[in-house]
Amino acid sequence: MAHVTMGRLDDKIAVITGAAGSTARRFVAEGARVVLADLDQQRLQQLAGELGGPARSSRSRPIRVNMLHPGPVDNAFQHRIETTATGRDEASANAIFDGMIPLGRHARADEVAAAALYLASDESAFLTGATVPLDGGMSI
Ligand SMILES: NC(=O)c1ccc[n+]([C@@H]2O[C@H](COP(=O)([O-])OP(=O)(O)OC[C@H]3O[C@@H](n4cnc5c(N)ncnc54)[C@H](O)[C@@H]3O)[C@@H](O)[C@H]2O)c1
């Protein structure tokens, strides 16, 4: 008998902007159909080729809207901000910012993807209109 694994986002559709990062891969791995937008067409095309699959029909469904507010993430975007803001090299700037985060470190991109996955999945089925800080405690 074939083994069928249910994804956490089976039968869901997600529109992802700035999509050339981790979240789209994670969402597709969990069964979502995705609409991707990004200014970086080369990375976008590469990702679309990697994720490509057969089209499926959709049906009407309730729409939930929640906002994810990440704190500093350990990526090139944030490293540029930190070196500019502090005038230090990347390692020193990183340490200064780590010192401002109660959990003592930056978020990983996959942790942002995991939180987005939770908000998109039925695990948060009754959550809508929420703002979710994902900032290691900076907003406490
Ligand atoms: N990195 C962090 O620490 C952090 C923290 C909080 C919020 N944010 C916000 O999250 C967003 C994404 O940041 P990131 O760290 O993932 O950066 P990133 O540079 O890793 O990814 C941004 C992606 O968006 C694309 N993009 C830029 N402008 C676009 C546009 N107008 N339309 C479509 N695609 C566009 C880029 O080509 C890139 O692929 C930014 O708005 C940033 O301010 C980032």
DSSP for 113-130, please give it. Answer: HHHHHHHHSGGGTT--S-
* Ligand 1: centre distance to CA 53 (Å): 25
Q: Whose CA is nearest to atom 28 of ligand 1?
A: 39
Match 């350990």 to its residue by tokens: 74
pTM: 0.78
Per-residue CA distances from 61 to 53, 97, 116, 118, 125 (Å): 22, 41, 19, 18, 12
| CATH number (domain holding residue 102) | 3.40.50.720
Confidence label for 91 from pLDDT (cuts 50, 70 and 90): very high
3-class secondary-structure state, position 132: strand
* Ligand 1: centre distance to CA 47 (Å): 16
d(CA 104, CA 81): 18
Ligand 1 atom at shortest distance from the alpha carbon of 75: 1
Residue 76 has pLDDT above 90, yes or no: yes
Confidence label for 95 from pLDDT (cuts 50, 70 and 90): very high
Q: 130: which DSSP letter? A: -
Per-residue CA distances from 134 to 76, 80, 92, 116, 137 (Å): 18, 20, 23, 10, 8
Confidence label for 5 from pLDDT (cuts 50, 70 and 90): low
The residue to mutate among 17, 26, 77, having the most atoms of ligand 1 within 8 angstroms of its beta carbon, is: 77
Residue 133 confidence (pLDDT):
98
Residues 39 and 75 in one domain: no
The residue to mutate among 16, 45, 73, having the most atoms of ligand 1 within 8 angstroms of its beta carbon, is: 73
Residues 136 and 111 in one domain: yes
Residues 75 and 51 in one domain: no
Ligand 1 atom at shortest distance from the alpha carbon of 37: 33
Residues 73 and 137 in one domain: yes
Residues 103 and 45 in one domain: no
Confidence label for 53 from pLDDT (cuts 50, 70 and 90): low
What type of residue is 46?
Q
